[in-house]
Chain A
Amino acid sequence: MLSIKNISKIYKTSKGNVVALKDLSLEIDEGEVICLLGPNGAGKTTTIKLIGTFVNPTTGTISYNNISITQRSKYLKNISVLFEGNRSVIWSLKVEENLEYFCGIRGLRLKDVKERIIKYMKIFGLEEYKGKFVNEISRGNQQKLAVASVLVLGTPVVLLDEPTLGLDFETSDNLMNIIKKEVDDNKKIFIITSHDADFIDKIASRIVIIDKGEVKGIFKVEELKSITKEENFKNAYLKYIKNKYERKN
């Protein structure tokens, strides 16, 4: 279980304190997909950065199966993260070499991950691009490769920041199915930020609505639809934000 208790992040600037995230508490079970939702600058990426140890929380604690983020080395063995997809791959390497490289620098033995690499190449439809450099494949496939290079690490917690950004409907749908399969087969925890309402509607176990660093609510998708009496997820979200419903945890 990933446990987030009362985390806040306040940046001290020359113009005073800036609250990036205020008092988020969340317990996430294995096999859950948590989607972080909110306008630009709401604090979604800050949340990912806090869980991924890119940023130290000002207050609060984060732990995975009782391993605290302060035990960074142990904690990070369970975490993999991807920010803005295709930028996180190495352009001077071939498709399959990227997967090998990222496993290698996590200290994984190539013999142990060989099958996993083949599996993810197949799942993501990257087999036909074997032997090609990253700049020789399409943006969608680069994005798939970036996600594959994170999943191939086999960590139980995966953090994805805007994984569908710039993807066409078909690729976005494929990615969604892959994540669903990972959750069903391997009981992984996914924490995803996205502005893609359709993607969130189909994939999220729970959503966390954040605005201006404040947690406005944590719901199951159906719960939000029921509160707002909206069938469509996007409308439900917009209605919720507009009407400033009472915060519910």
Chain B
Amino acid sequence: MKERIRILITEIKFIFIRMITSYRFDWIAGNINLLLGLIFLYLGINSFRDEVVSSNVIDSKTIKMIIGLYIFVVIQEGLVGMVSKVSEGKAYGTFEQIIVNPYGSWFILFAKAVGGSIISFISITIFAPLAMVITGKYFSVNLFKLILLLIPLLFSVFGIGFILAGLTLIYKRLQSFAYLIQFFVLSLMVLPSYPFSVYSLLPIAPQSLVINKVIASNVAISYKWWIYLYLNAFVYFFSGIKIYNYLEEIAREKGVLGHY
């Protein structure tokens, strides 16, 4: 367990180091993009049309849009991120060090994905209030509740990410396919998965919809739903790992594991 925590810390540390050294310019530009995007959302499209910022309170539709955008970023990071980590690693030859890792290549990918998500979360937690100060438009979010709801969403996304990453082990580059899948997955966000329906059994769908309901519309969910969100997420997460490991074995049989 200690070793796994060290791996996790290493990934977070070096994602951060790379961001502020090698990718400094891109990191700054990315954050400016994020800040401008948030400012644009806070002010709202109507205020640009009317040239008037009518109220200092952001309406619930805009909050839904902001939360929706954030969920979109999380899903994109989880899905495309995992695929590109495998394909870049294979292309540059660093994936071999991941394959010979005694703790399993899935765990390294998981650590990378968790690291990326934490950094994204920190960025948005800093820039969302900053954008509020700049625009003078405010809304409040229960950060603790948001984190508790984001955890099952992330695990659900990672589960699907593992399947795509496993396919990348066999089929080399899959970024375009991952982008395609991402839109399919995004459609899951709008399915009526709350209250319980057949759509609630799908991955990502119940978690993303409930985040929006709870955070933007202040809907209170029962403890059974909390349990269900986590249960659903962990089922897809562990199934994703199982499928990834199975695909890794197929890649081993075919002799395509490692760089190309």
Binding site for B on A (CB under 8 A): 9, 11, 20, 46, 49, 52-56, 72-74, 76-77, 79-84, 87-94, 97, 100-102, 104-109, 133, 149
Contacts and interface: CB of A to CB of B under 8 A. Distances in A.
A101 B13 CA distance: 9
B97 A107 contact: no
State the majority secondary structure of interface residues on A.
Answer: mixed
State the majority secondary structure of interface residues on B.
Answer: helix
A101 B22 CA distance: 15
Contacts of A94: 21
A93 B96 contact: no
Contacts of B96: 52, 54, 81-83, 88
Nearest to A97: B17
A77 B10 contact: no
Contacts, number: 105
B11 A9 contact: no
Contacts of B103: 73, 107
B72 to A, nearest CB: 26
Nearest to A89: B94
B9 interface: yes
B90 to A, nearest CB: 11
By Cβ-Cβ distance, the 3 closest A-B pairs, closest first, are: A107-B3, A104-B10, A87-B93
A157 to B, nearest CB: 11
A151 to B, nearest CB: 13
Interface in B18-34: 18, 21-23
A125 B102 CA distance: 29
B145 interface: no
B257 interface: yes
A132 B193 CA distance: 52
Given A55-B252, A83-B258, A149-B97, 20 more contacts: A20-B255, A49-B255, A53-B252, A73-B102, A73-B104, A76-B101, A82-B96, A87-B93, A88-B94, A93-B17, A94-B21, A97-B14, A100-B10, A102-B97, A104-B14, A105-B11, A105-B98, A105-B111, A106-B3, A109-B6
